[in-house]
Amino acid sequence: MQWFLNLSTKSKIICCFSFMFVLIAIVIVTAYLGITATTQSQKDLFHENYTVSLDLVELRSDQNRARAQLLEMMMTGDRSKQQALDRDIRERSGDIDKLLKELAAAQKDDQRFMADLQELVTVRDTYRNIREEQIRLILGGKIEAARQLGLGPQEERYGKIRDTALKLEQLEKDQAKQRLAQSEQRTRKTLVIFLLVGVAAIFVSTAMTLAMNKAIANPLTEIAAIAEKIATGELDVNVPADGRGDEVGILTRTFRRMVENIKGHADTTRRIAAGDLSGSVTPQSERDVMGNALAVMGRSLRDITREIIEGVNVLASSSSEIMASTNQVAAGATETAAAVSETSSTVEEVKQTANVSSQKARTVAEAAQKAVQVAQVGRRSIEESIVGMGRIQGQVEAIAESIVRLSEQSQTIGEIIATVNDLAEQSNLLAVNAAIEAAKAGEQGKGFAVVAQEVKSLAEQSKEATAQVRTILNDIQKATNAAVMATEQGNKAVEEGVRQSREAGEAIRQMGDSIDESAQAAVQIAASSQQQLAGMDQVALAMENIRQASEQNVTGMRQVEVTVQGLHDLGQKLKDLVAQYKV
């Protein structure tokens, strides 16, 4: 049976149909031979038996008719009628001779028939000669002599001819019955052979159909069921090994290799989805579409993951630097706020001093006689004012330097944030590319598509965080610019106060020379003190603005610090996330 399974499907079909054609040919030949034999038997029955029987019947009929006509010649006295009857008798006699020759020619192989026929011919020849003598006597008018000649032996001869003809006819009937029985037996035998060959053909055809079904249809049905499972995504299938050498065996082995190849690709996809990108896919051939696609996808994912890891590392290091810079800026802002608070206290003291100076100036103006004492007091106050102004100027310059340094650090933070924003843009772009590659990969890239979406989401969060930091830095820069302007105005006011204090001191030193000059100086001092008071109000307002700006700077830097900390945590989270992928 194994040799049949190893045949090709074409050879199996040709073999089966050839065998069926042979069986059909046997059935056809059997039927043809049976029908031919029956037909030949019928022909023989007709030509040999039936025709011979008809000839014998016709022979007896002609013989009886000739005897009747002879008797009629004896009974009639009409000469012309006798001659007409003589002609008819002779014509009948010629027909009988012709029939005897035909019978002899037809049954020349039948010795029994030929013996009886020869006896019939001999008796008839004698009977015909006597009948010719009777006709001459009748035509000669010797009717009684002719009647006497027809009695005795002539009657026996006539009976002999009749009996022999009946015997031959019965012989042909017996042969016809025998041949008919043989034909029926041959027909039954042919029918039995036909039925046996037909049943054998049906049995063999059924067996061959079942064998073909078992050899071809059953394996194909099993392969189709396995293919249906694979089509629904079930790869846990087992293709049975088949050592057949036909197309079904080749198909089974090829299908087995295909299932193993698909399982290998599925394992590779699962490893990629689990984050293991270190494996490589070897295509089965140049036209292995899935193998080449998985190989390209693996290389692309490894390249993208490396770039993402590098970007995340840069993001983590940048966020660390930003956090360190932010801490420094926050510390500087805190120190600036403390310095501004001290400066505000000093300005308040200077303001109070200016009020005292104004009151003293008014006192000098009201009482010139106390000009010397007031001048001395004013000199001391002016000296203190000059010292305070110097302190204020120093504090203002320190504030200006701190604010300028804060502005420079804010610009540095802005540049770092721009770098972080660029990294976020690159991460977003890489995530989009990874999502595109995952979409190209179809079902195998769904796992990586989720990772790409997470990277994209984290990149967008980084971008939003940098945007918030940028907004806060813009607010800080605006507040810093306002503080710089206020500091410049305060510095100018302090310089003006120093100049006025020096002029007041010069006036007080000259007051001892002249009371008038002292009075005028007192008036000038009062006016200057009033201006100084107004300037101190401006300085106090400017310092209040600087204090508020410093507090805003501190608050903003705290927010920046929180944001940068979140950015740093985000970078660490991204770093931990990409660390799961092995390239």
Q: What digits encode the pLDDT tens for the residues 210-251?
A: 877 776 777 778 778 778 878 887 767 777 666 666 677 777
Q: What is the pLDDT of residues 503-533, one digit of tens each?
A: 767 776 776 666 567 667 666 766 766 776 6
Nearest CA to 67 among 161, 139, 145, 2? 161
Q: Is 24 helix (H, G, I), strand (E, B) or coil?
A: helix
- Please tell me the distance from the alpha carbon of residue 258 to that of residue 253, in angstroms, as a whole number: 9
- Please tell me the distance from the alpha carbon of residue 399 to that of residue 129, in angstroms, as a whole number: 183
- Please tell me the distance from the alpha carbon of residue 503 to that of residue 501, in angstroms, as a whole number: 5
Residue range 95-119: average pLDDT?
Answer: 80
Residues ≥6 apart with Cβ < 8 Å to 98: none
Structural domains in the chain? 1-200 (1.20.120), 298-580 (1.10.287.950)
- Please tell me the distance from the alpha carbon of residue 500 to that of residue 130, in angstroms, as a whole number: 205
Task: Report the range of poorest mean pLDDT among 87-101, 208-222, 351-365.
Answer: 351-365
Residues 138, 149: contact at Cβ < 8 Å? no
Q: What is the pLDDT of residues 6-53, one digit of tens each?
A: 666 677 677 777 877 787 787 777 777 767 766 666 565 555 555 776
- Please tell me the distance from the alpha carbon of residue 451 to that of residue 301, in angstroms, as a whole number: 11
Nearest CA to 339 among 252, 401, 413? 401
- Please tell me the distance from the alpha carbon of residue 447 to that of residue 443, in angstroms, as a whole number: 9
Which residue is it, tokens 């008071």? 533
* CA atoms lying within 13 Å on the CB side of residue 255: 23
Nearest CA to 447 among 301, 259, 237? 301
| Per-residue model confidence (pLDDT) at position 464 | 80
Phi, psi of 580 (to 5 degrees): -70, -20
Helices 515-578 and 289-366: angle between axes, nearest 10 degrees:
170
Phi, psi of 579 (to 5 degrees): -70, -15
- Please tell me the distance from the alpha carbon of residue 517 to that of residue 507, in angstroms, as a whole number: 8
Outline where 7-152 has alpha helix (H).
Answer: 9-44, 51-75, 79-106, 111-139, 143-149
What is the percent of the chain where pLDDT is above 70? Answer: 69
